[in-house]
Structure 1
Amino acid sequence: MMILHDSWIIPARMTGDQDAAIDSTDLLTGLASAEAARTWLRRTAPAAPVLAMLVSLPRLQAVNLAYGKTHGDQVLIEVARRVADFVDVELGSAALVARLGGGKFLVATVQDTSRERWQYLGEALGRAIARTLTVRGEEFHLLPRTVLLRSSALGEEGGSGEALLHHLEETATTLDRLSGRRMLWADDVLGTPGASLAVLEGELLGAMHRDEISVLFQPQFDVATGRLAGAEALARWEHPRFGQISAETLFAVADRGDHVAQLSRHIIGRAMALATQWPGHLRLSLNITAEDFALGDVVRTVRHLLGETGFAAGRLTLEITEQSLISDFEACARALRALATDGVRVALDDFGTGFSNFRTLKALPLDALKLDKSLVKDIAHDPRDRAIVSAVIAMARALAMKVIAEGVEHQQQLAILREEGCDLFQGFLRSGPMAPLEFLRLTSS
């Protein structure tokens, strides 16, 4: 195990200052300390472009509460070992690996690495941390969240180590509020000068009035027949200066200004209006967030928009995540049951990435489970992943639920899903998200 990178040991040895060596080391994990990380960023950022990722462990608090701090500390030590080993192999000893406190780890480097590879490394590190972890006979399954950043995207601010850390931590806070999201680029919109979250927040309401918030449709297909079955609505901001802004950033902006309920209403209404042009057998799926339940009257909003647009309730599916139910499970359940009486169907999204709580399956009026793409990704090569998918499909059938697979990219994956009895799929094997007119053409082809 790498205890501490050489770049952090050498300065202390050169000065002979043992206190400096202690201050630069996180005493629990042996990684660089938060202060050492700040020093590295202050020295490095002005001289060279920095790539950074901030990895957090949202479930650490639950481990501490359920098993005690001793277990929690052992979990942190094991995660630190995995992070250090991963960085040694992928980036070498020149990279910074630090613990910022609690369950937060920072990885940074000045290597000439593309955005695509940095994201790949972030995803790979997330998988390494997510592997089953055993402490004192107890098994833990951590689902880390990762924020990625390129200092070059921050313009003049990119030369400030403090600004880098600030943007990472601010984006991590935003990511915590985004249901079902595990990764976010801090520089998705910060890459364009002036396009900060604060600036975009001031423009959001006007963007809705100017129809800059567009809806794309991700087609869903029948696994057995290959026929089009419907689509999931996805939001994008077509900004006149900054280009296309992702849904993650869009909702982060809305969250800053307490506009989530208003934004959701805008997207839901627009998607329903567009879907009225489709053939009557196609279904529309819409995502409902935790903020929709907490800040808005979901039942009244959905019923009003169904009436206003003329879209049939029986053709609508609302997709929720377990994360969106945490704030007030009973209130969310009541709202979903009320809509179910109108004929609206409910699907549990990202199944396999949350707590996968059986209470959720029992208490909610669920019609479908959506297999997260992380479960589908390796089913053609990993017998365990296939066994899990097979078990989930069998359970769903026993509960009279359909199963929708996300992220299907290869024919072999589809063949296995067909063999296991999966009902619907979506993914780049058949189509990515489509503009409304493009999807409308697909419905008639």
Structure 2
Amino acid sequence: MRRARDAREWMSAASDGPATMLLLGIKDLKQINEHMGRSVGDKAIRRVGEQLRAFAAQQLSPVSFMARMPGREFMLVVKGNDVGRHTELAAQKLLEMVSSNLGDADAPLHVSARVAIALSQPGESRQQLVSRATQALADAYERKGQRFVIADSSKIAVSPDRAKLDAAMRSALAQRQIAIVLQPQFEVATGKLVGAEALARLVHPVLGEVSAGDLFASADRCDLREELSYHIQQEAIAIAAKWPAAFGHLRLAVNLGAEEMTDHYGARLLQSLTDAGFPPNRLTLELTEESLVRDLQLAAGQLELLRSKGVRIAVDDFGTGYSSLAYLKALPLDYLKIDKGMTPDIAGNGKDRIILRAIIAMTKALGLLIIAEGVEKPEELEMLKIEGCDYFQGFLRAPPLTPQEFAAMARDLV
């Protein structure tokens, strides 16, 4: 398989006609290296490359270019861009192949992979095609359960140069310049403000506003995801700790990634709360289904420790992963967050609404509270109220706000 240098040369050459690009990334390579050893990580990369070559020979034709990219990604280019649904099915097949056991008989090895698909557009350079595929892969990494993403074809998008973005991310992290915005959360029945979810933003003087997907993809390349996520949690807790006494009923929600779930995570988070002076019983920890796949017992132990101190636990993006029911049974939980991609289904008809209604009923039966993400229309909120959803967030009431904007809104509502 060709190397990154060949890929750079391919990108710099002129386009030779329509093409379809598949960009595959090993989402959990860092965890494999840390918990199983770099030699196992290197084996995973080799085995994924072998599977990619086998896939190309069996599923796609004609393949015009294939290469190993820096870090954890692989590029595959097929001539023509009119393959449509066939490419989606091929991507699913590739994910099945890569997700199979890549280890030996006595040492199983599984990886979590993501695939981006980008169809070339008229007048688009190869570099621009790669940029769109890279952005789509970053989105796939962030969507927590959506294993492949088709790049936006409505416009030619140019993502920030990786080297510049990585340097900017490192600098911003070192100088604590990554900003926090707060997504307000409301009670469905009354519309009362109940808290906010903390999200990260980076506005760079040259690169402009860097998306969360690009930011965390950069942190992954630099092996700094854990540091970035920890920084975001610390900053958010420090902001909430300065809320006035009148905001004493408001909760703060922070996100948890897989790389942070260690034997020391709970103690570290509790120490951050103590240092900032923010009560643990006003914090909600939102974790994705994928965050727990590797060691469910470890996760349960850490979450029990946090809950014993008052921290509440939410499963984020419910409905996008494959182990939802197992987590509901095995983990100490307080909330379930319905993925924003499912929220529009609540106002629909037929099977979509039936499935969502069943999820809500099951959650209620388990004694959990429900938070709906991505609520944008009044009819969605009305149906959430009818179905018994407890809380919601989304552009219907408020977009993510700066800490100052959130405080101003909260003062008007308390």
Q: TM-score, normalised by structure 2?
A: 0.69
Paired letter, 2:249? H
Residues 187-241 of structure 1: CA deviation (Å, up to 9, x unaligned)? 99x836xx43333323333212434201111111100001111111110111121
Gap change, CA 1:225 and 1:174, over 3 Å in 2 = closer
* Count of residues paired in the alignment: 345
Contact between 2:371 and 2:392, CA under 8 Å: does it hold in 1? yes
Counterpart check, 1:368 vs 2:331: no
Residues 72-109 of structure 1: CA deviation (Å, up to 9, x unaligned)? xxxx9xxx9xx9xxxxxxxxxxxx999989xx997887
What does residue range 33-432 of structure 1 map to in structure 2 within 5 Å? 46=14, 54=22, 147=116, 159-160=125-126, 164=129, 168=133, 172=137, 175-176=140-141, 179-180=144-145, 183=149, 191=158, 195-278=160-243, 279-293=247-261, 297-432=264-399
Contact between 1:126 and 1:146, CA under 8 Å: does it hold in 2? no
SS in 1 for 2:321: coil
Cα distance in 1 for residues equivalent to 2:361 and 2:225: 36
Contact between 2:185 and 2:193, CA under 8 Å: does it hold in 1? yes
SS in 2 for 1:428: coil
Residues 154-192 of structure 1: CA deviation (Å, up to 9, x unaligned)? x9xx7447x95698479748945874465486999x836
Larger of the two Rg values belongs to structure = 1
Give the superposition deviation at 1:378.
Answer: 2.7
Gap change, CA 1:171 and 1:373, over 3 Å in 2 = closer
Name structure 2 gaps, 5 residues minimum: 1-5, 27-54, 68-74, 93-111
Residues 33-87 of structure 1: CA deviation (Å, up to 9, x unaligned)? xxxxx9xxx79982589786648799xxxxxxxxxxxxxxxxx9xxx9xx9xxxx
Gap change, CA 1:223 and 1:356, over 3 Å in 2 = farther
SS in 1 for 2:219: helix
Contact between 2:63 and 2:76, CA under 8 Å: does it hold in 1? yes
Gap change, CA 1:246 and 1:362, over 3 Å in 2 = same
Paired letter, 1:273? A
Cα distance in 2 for residues equivalent to 1:108 and 1:235: 38
Cα distance in 2 for residues equivalent to 1:309 and 1:355: 36
Cα distance in 1 for residues equivalent to 2:25 and 2:225: 25
| 2:32 aligned partner | none
Give the superposition deviation at 1:392.
Answer: 1.2
Paired letter, 2:226? A
Residues 370-429 of structure 1: CA deviation (Å, up to 9, x unaligned)? 111222123222321211121111111111100111111111111111001000011111
Cα distance in 2 for residues equivalent to 1:43 and 1:274: 43
Contact between 1:376 and 1:385, CA under 8 Å: does it hold in 2? no
SS in 1 for 2:184: strand
Gap change, CA 1:55 and 1:404, over 3 Å in 2 = farther
Gap change, CA 1:205 and 1:308, over 3 Å in 2 = farther
Cα distance in 2 for residues equivalent to 1:262 and 1:57: 21
Paired letter, 1:336? L
SS in 2 for 1:308: helix
Gap change, CA 1:323 and 1:210, over 3 Å in 2 = same
Contact between 1:49 and 1:150, CA under 8 Å: does it hold in 2? no
Q: TM-score, normalised by structure 1?
A: 0.65
Give the superposition deviation at 1:126.
Answer: 7.3
Give the superposition deviation at 1:297.
Answer: 3.2
Paired letter, 1:226? G
| 1:72 aligned partner | none
Gap change, CA 1:253 and 1:245, over 3 Å in 2 = same
Contact between 2:181 and 2:402, CA under 8 Å: does it hold in 1? yes
Give the superposition deviation at 1:321.
Answer: 1.0
Residue identity over aligned pairs, in percent, reads 39
| 1:133 aligned partner | none
SS in 2 for 1:355: coil
Gap change, CA 1:371 and 1:300, over 3 Å in 2 = same
Contact between 1:221 and 1:230, CA under 8 Å: does it hold in 2? yes
Cα distance in 1 for residues equivalent to 2:376 and 2:226: 33
Paired letter, 2:377? H
